[in-house]
Structure 1
Amino acid sequence: MQFVLTLLLLVVVALVTSSPIRLQAEDSHIISAGPKFNHVARLSKGNKAIFTINTEKDGEHPVCLRYGSNTAGHLLVKANGHVQSPIRFVSNSNYLCSNATLRTGINSLVLESQEGPIDLDYIDVHGASPVNERGATLPYLEYEAEDATHNGKVIGPDRTYMSLPSEASGRRAVQIQGSGQFVEFTLKKATNAIVVRFSIPDTPDGSGNVVQLNVLSSSGDILAKLELTSKHSWAYGGFPFSKHPNEGSPHHFYDESRGLLNKRVEANEKIRLVPSGSDLVYTIDLIDTYDVPSPYKKPDQFFTVTDFGADPTGQRDSTNAFFGAINKATETGKGVWIPEGNFAVSQRFQVNKIVIRGAGPWYSTVFATQAYGIGFFGNWAPNPSQNVELYDFSIIGQTQIRIDSQIDSGVGGAYSNSLVQNLWIEHTKCGMWLDGPFDGFHIVGLTIRNVYADGINFHKGVTNSVVKQSIFRNLGDDALAMWAEQEPNRNNEFSYNTIQVPLLANGVAIYGGESNKATNIYVADTICEGGGLQASNRFGARLLSGETILADSTIVRCGAPNRWNTGHNGAVWFWSLDGPIDQKVTVRNLDILDSSFAGGTFWGSQSSSIHFSDVSIDKAPYAFEVESVTGQAYFTNVVAKNIEKTGIHSCQPNFKFVMESGCSGWNSTSC
């Protein structure tokens, strides 16, 4: 009776609060579950549904569940990895409520059936907020330097490959030199932390300069002293590039520096960036301002790495202490806690059936003392790690150039039935390189920047895994890739991710595989040999099959030149290099803006099953461009405007554009 009264009270509380955000169960990430049918998701014992929730304040939020079940049972509930009160259900269809403690910003909510089966219809979350429709719901505000007050020099716009402005966000930046020059930003929201994207010149030998940038308040007080270095930027020569300036062809110009401010700066106040102690030219691209929460607290039943001898000052190597804590936690079924501090490590950590947490990525940092070979790795396939959870810390490498023979990722290996949330990864070769086969990996809320190859790559045989609400910038290869080499990737999803300035290759690439999709993406400024989105049969991948979906996304200033010749590709790119694209590819509800070349390009041998609908192309030399390919593509409600040359540029008479209803603005042709 007491339990029933409690549930009724919670229902009343939920009903009198503001309108909830309703999340459909079939749209959640379902792991190890039965089929979705009639708009419900069936969970048997051990199956789970993972929801992504955005809130504007910390605290308890009523979560109400509509379900149906023929038996009584309960759901284990975890919010951001923390166990909440279980939801107990009875036989029949019903609507139950409980509370979950959520954070400001992006949260994961896991519902795991402990008996089952139970059919989930939807959850209502009170006090939640909608997420951005395209791209990640960002935890910061971004300010472009060229839009700020300054007494420096604006460079750009210029999309010429290997020019300094071409790699800037929006293809413009501001240069300042000496303590008398500045860039000043007026804040739209309060902040206590900052990221500065910058470029400074390299040294003649390629070893890199180190300088200081002062962050000042409007009264001239120093809020932070940021170290800027060119050690992790400037690459030369041919692929995969070097640190030798005498090889020419410089690129990869920018890096970032971040820091907590020594006091909070309120909205409408100003922040000024001023060079300190150097006459080098500082090129400022942008800043991101954060309102970073207080450090998270250590949960019960966690071993702290400092209890095993880890040094939070970073002066002594903490590798053995981390091994000790991980081994002890694995033996006892407890977790590992990384407290506030900077922890120097020199080896990778293999993890399995473990939870590792930090105080937050601005507070708990694991950093490398050598160029390669750190990170948190699952077991290698075909025996992937299981039930790994990583939360709330940073992984900072010391990599300065791409060496493909090196295993060098912030997170790597293979993970099934696992979750990674709110990690910040920089200066490794890859953010996450994941080798399947494995199943059911949930990745949410990551920041991956300034790496030398892929942001995240699902490589061979990855199934039912997702990347959501994550942020990528300044990547040396595809920001997000699915590469179905040897074994097909199946039923994976990249959704609600923000991608800026991939320096080589694509924003999102799906190389073969079965029934994969990329949706609700925002991608801007591809630089070389890359589109905003690509679906292709390349790199020996198992050919595209099922239905591949590219949908509900915005693509800005994308399309790029080829390094080797005068070729180029469009903002959306299809390449049937290793075999025909003869299974359905759906391209739906895209906004393609200010493309460097065509809105879409078709390369390869034969493509016959690409279907465009509800696509807008605004400003491009061509709406579509065809290289050496035969076949046809289908178009419904595809509208182009501000086309600078012709609608279709094609010298391939055996590739047909089948225009169905609602197409306009791109009827002209050229060869």
Structure 2
Amino acid sequence: MHSYDMHAPSRRVARSSSAFALALAIALVGSVIGLAEPAAARTASQPKAAAAAGADLPFTSTEAESAATDGQRIGPDYTQGTLASEASGRQAVRLGAGQSVEFTLGGAANAVNVSYSVPEGQTGSLAVYVNGTKLDRSIAVTSKYSHIDTPWIPGAKTHHFFDNAHLLLGRDLKAGDKVRLTATSSNVTVDVADFEQVGAPTAKPSGAISVVDKGADPTGQRDSTGAFRDAIAAAKGSGGTVWIPAGEFTVGSELSGVENVTVQGAGGWHSVVRSSRFINQSGSAGRVHLKDFAVIGEVTERVDSAPDNFVNGSLGPGSSVSGMWLQHLKVGLWLTGNNDDLVVENNRVLDTTADGLNLNGNARGVQVRHNFLRNQGDDSLAMWSLNATNSDDTFAHNTVSQPNLANGIAIYGGRDITVKDNLVLDTNALGSGIAVSNQKFLDPFFPLAGTITVAGNTLVRTGALNPNWNHPMGALRVDAYDSAIEATVTITGTTIKDSPYSAYEFVSGGGTGKAVKNVTVDGSTVAGVGTVVVQAETPGAVRMTGVKATGVGVAGIYNCPYPAGSGTFALTDGGGNSGWDSVWDDCSTWPRPGGGNPAPDPNRNLAKGRPATATGTADVYSPGKAVDGDAHTYWESTNHAFPQSITVDLGSAQPVRRVVLKLPPVAVWQARTQTLSLQGSTDGSSFSQLVASKDYRFDPATGNAVTVALPESAPRTRHLRVLVTANSGWPAAQFSEVEAYLE
């Protein structure tokens, strides 16, 4: 489930001094996190070394930004709704027609899967070269399955920019070989390439019933639904196997009555079923085993009422799903009813418009392990205790990358749940890397109970700014959204790297101050956070032991329960903590990434991702496009209506000394002169002139950018305004980026 409808609690709490906040923390817990005894003196048990997080994968991924290219590297960016922010590593490479990115292989491979993006409404291809020789096959690219809009979801923007396409190369390559991808059309953005050594198609099991023998068409030209149904009916009476040989099969109607049967293919690269709704059934006697084939749908929009899923409903007890390639569906597995002791393992789930997998109540003893999920439009892995309690279920050793509208892994209610040894990367917009939550969405809901174990997980670049709250969500979130956390929540052995905002967040997302209790954090490495290590926003308590932090952006602790007067949040120092003893001292403002105690970075663009407004906008060319970090998108004012202006709120008064103004750096943007001045304000209402009006020439031959220097005497500015009175190339003000720097 999504976690996007949380309303935004306003922050109007009186400012307190650092000394007062520190004294309050000491009074509450007896010591402040970071004032810890040496590790040898700790009384808590030392956590065992964690197993390697993530799935065992058959491929090796290489980021495009680390490969050789003559294209344009974009990012890093953490701004919702931008291409780079949804990319793996928050960076990618944009290719114009004829431009390339070349990967050097680290091992054997005969196949590649590429994550890419093209502008909405466009198609094209990537030519493939191996060691300089062009192959007779290429990779088709399309925007058909991307650029998703969900206007009914509060806080959502156009998202899901990337898609995946794969190709068998037709030859065996070795370490050191080079694979070059060349755009045959303009504006193809390449994010990451997965190189894999794919085995030959596996043989038909003895005694299996082939769908081809029942009339299925392996060319995909004719619909094979009837043949699949006949084969399943023939096999399930004896608990037999339905065989899907190598080929492509169209299954245009959903299957039901699937029980006591194995449906097996020759491998996900070889046996491909084209179906947007494969199995849809409310119940099953169980013992269903789905393995080793691909189901690729044609889902291009998210329709929540439609069962556009690989499995919708129940497989029944004792079932399994393994070795599957699932793509272009709404949800991979939306599981309701009896799915006791289900095992979901070694699957690849790509490009779903909503969840990857959701245990939607009444799931007991389910094991979800060693799966790879990329580019989900909601939670990649979720348990939601609706109608009945999920219990004794485990998400373990999964790799989750780039969920673009919610959490990597989310637990909404349930009893005795385990989340361990997972790797989550690059959450975006409305979610955390891992969320442990009592957000119910609907009734009857069963809150967290028993023991919730979160152990050995690694979270990289996770957490995001929630536009509904207007403040960030941490890499790991414990959320008393609709009811207090009464379960025992144990968080051990967590590694958090490069979180754009906070590491640990304790919150009541409904804004009602429900308590987060019974939580312990033991043994954690935090390597880089944009704001704080602990973001405590609701009454409750946590004991933290052995949490070692480096690269803290602002302060160690933000401790500001909401609503004001709802209670206190107690941080108990269990010992062995280091690197985060400072306290944010102003509950009326949110810490900005990198904007606290460290010296400000003069090379940081202060305007990037900040709120922008304008006197007018033409069509879709909104002011936010001038601060999104992407020079190919732009703001354009109302035409034939000078003067026009764009204003960026930098968040606080800054000594801006340099403003860079850009237009898209492509030849179709012919040279032009804009007449403009700079104005500044600290309150957003009274503006003074910073730089007088003059003509500035924008020329694509020199990057279509101009730099405006501000005098040393210019006052600090929070609201930076660019006022335009003329444009020789178009009857409107136009900027693709407005950038502000301290020097």
Q: TM-score, normalised by structure 1?
A: 0.76
1:146 equivalenced with 2:65 (yes/no): yes
1:376 is displaced (CA, Å) by 2.6
The corresponding residue for 1:651 is 560
1:213 equivalenced with 2:126 (yes/no): yes
CA distance in structure 2 between the partners assigned to 1:249 and 1:510 by the alignment: 24
Helix, strand or coil for the counterpart of 1:416?
Answer: coil
The corresponding residue for 2:306 is 406
The corresponding residue for 1:308 is 214
Distance 1:660 1:431, change over 3 A: same
Q: Which amino acid aligns with 1:475?
A: Q
1:328 is displaced (CA, Å) by 1.4
Distance 1:437 1:326, change over 3 A: closer
CA distance in structure 2 between the partners assigned to 1:619 and 1:225 by the alignment: 40
Return the match for 1:668 from 582, 587, 593: 582
CA distance in structure 2 between the partners assigned to 1:655 and 1:132 by the alignment: 32
Contiguous gaps of at least 5 residues in structure 1: 1-130, 204-208, 242-246
The 5-angstrom pairing of residues 14-93 of structure 1 reads none
- CA deviations over 1:537-577 (Å, ceiling 9, x no partner): 11253111111011101100011111335122100001101
The 5-angstrom pairing of residues 318-337 of structure 1 reads 318-337=224-243
- CA deviations over 1:131-167 (Å, ceiling 9, x no partner): 9721001100101000000101000011111111000
Q: Which amino acid aligns with 2:249?
A: F
Larger RCO, structures 1/2 (Cα 8 Å, 6+ apart) = 2
Distance 1:197 1:301, change over 3 A: same
Q: Contact 1:224 / 1:262 at 8 angstroms: preserved in 2?
A: no
1:536 is displaced (CA, Å) by 1.0
The corresponding residue for 2:144 is 231
Equivalenced residue count is: 520
Q: Which amino acid aligns with 2:137?
A: A
The 5-angstrom pairing of residues 475-490 of structure 1 reads 475-490=376-391
Q: Contact 1:224 / 1:260 at 8 angstroms: preserved in 2?
A: no
Q: Contact 2:125 / 2:138 at 8 angstroms: preserved in 1?
A: yes
CA distance in structure 1 between the partners assigned to 2:431 and 2:136 by the alignment: 39
Return the match for 1:608 from 510, 517, 523: 517
Return the match for 1:282 from 184, 188, 201: 188
The corresponding residue for 1:338 is 244
Helix, strand or coil for the counterpart of 1:327?
Answer: helix
Identity, in percent, stands at 35
Return the match for 1:622 from 507, 532, 545: 532
1:174 equivalenced with 2:93 (yes/no): yes
Helix, strand or coil for the counterpart of 1:238?
Answer: coil
- CA deviations over 1:608-658 (Å, ceiling 9, x no partner): 11100001111111001122x111111111111111111111223611101
CA distance in structure 1 between the partners assigned to 2:357 and 2:231 by the alignment: 27
The corresponding residue for 1:196 is 114
The 5-angstrom pairing of residues 490-569 of structure 1 reads 490-539=391-440, 540=442, 541-569=445-473
Between structure 1 and structure 2, the one with the greater Rg is 2
1:591 is displaced (CA, Å) by 0.5
CA distance in structure 2 between the partners assigned to 1:256 and 1:551 by the alignment: 31
Return the match for 2:282 from 364, 367, 380: 380
The corresponding residue for 1:595 is 499
Q: Which amino acid aligns with 1:449?
A: L
Helix, strand or coil for the counterpart of 2:226?
Answer: helix
Distance 1:561 1:518, change over 3 A: same
- CA deviations over 1:153-189 (Å, ceiling 9, x no partner): 000011111111000000000011112x110011111
1:237 is displaced (CA, Å) by 5.3
Q: Contact 2:237 / 2:260 at 8 angstroms: preserved in 1?
A: no
Q: Which amino acid aligns with 1:580?
A: A
Helix, strand or coil for the counterpart of 1:439?
Answer: coil
The corresponding residue for 1:358 is 265
Q: Which amino acid aligns with 1:537?
A: N
- CA deviations over 1:396-447 (Å, ceiling 9, x no partner): 0100011000012112321211111100100110011000343110111010
Q: Which amino acid aligns with 1:214?
A: A
1:571 equivalenced with 2:475 (yes/no): yes
Q: Contact 2:472 / 2:502 at 8 angstroms: preserved in 1?
A: no
1:250 is displaced (CA, Å) by 2.6
1:347 is displaced (CA, Å) by 1.1
Q: Which amino acid aligns with 1:364?
A: S
Larger mean CA deviation between 518-527 and 559-568 belongs to 559-568
CA distance in structure 2 between the partners assigned to 1:416 and 1:332 by the alignment: 17
1:248 is displaced (CA, Å) by 10
1:185 equivalenced with 2:120 (yes/no): no
Return the match for 2:170 from 262, 274, 296: 262
CA distance in structure 1 between the partners assigned to 2:153 and 2:274 by the alignment: 24
CA distance in structure 2 between the partners assigned to 1:264 and 1:564 by the alignment: 50
1:219 is displaced (CA, Å) by 3.0
1:532 is displaced (CA, Å) by 0.8
1:471 is displaced (CA, Å) by 0.2
CA distance in structure 2 between the partners assigned to 1:610 and 1:334 by the alignment: 48
1:223 is displaced (CA, Å) by 6.0
Structure 1 residue ranges, 4+ long, deviating more than 3 angstroms after superposition: none
Helix, strand or coil for the counterpart of 1:320?
Answer: helix
1:299 is displaced (CA, Å) by 0.8
Q: Contact 1:223 / 1:261 at 8 angstroms: preserved in 2?
A: no
CA distance in structure 2 between the partners assigned to 1:536 and 1:293 by the alignment: 42
- CA deviations over 1:164-216 (Å, ceiling 9, x no partner): 1000000000011112x11001111111111010000112xxxxx32111111
Q: Which amino acid aligns with 1:144?
A: E
Q: Contact 1:515 / 1:547 at 8 angstroms: preserved in 2?
A: yes
Helix, strand or coil for the counterpart of 1:491?
Answer: coil
RMSD: 1.7
Return the match for 1:452 from 348, 353, 365: 353
1:222 is displaced (CA, Å) by 0.7
Helix, strand or coil for the counterpart of 1:349?
Answer: coil
Q: Contact 1:216 / 1:224 at 8 angstroms: preserved in 2?
A: no
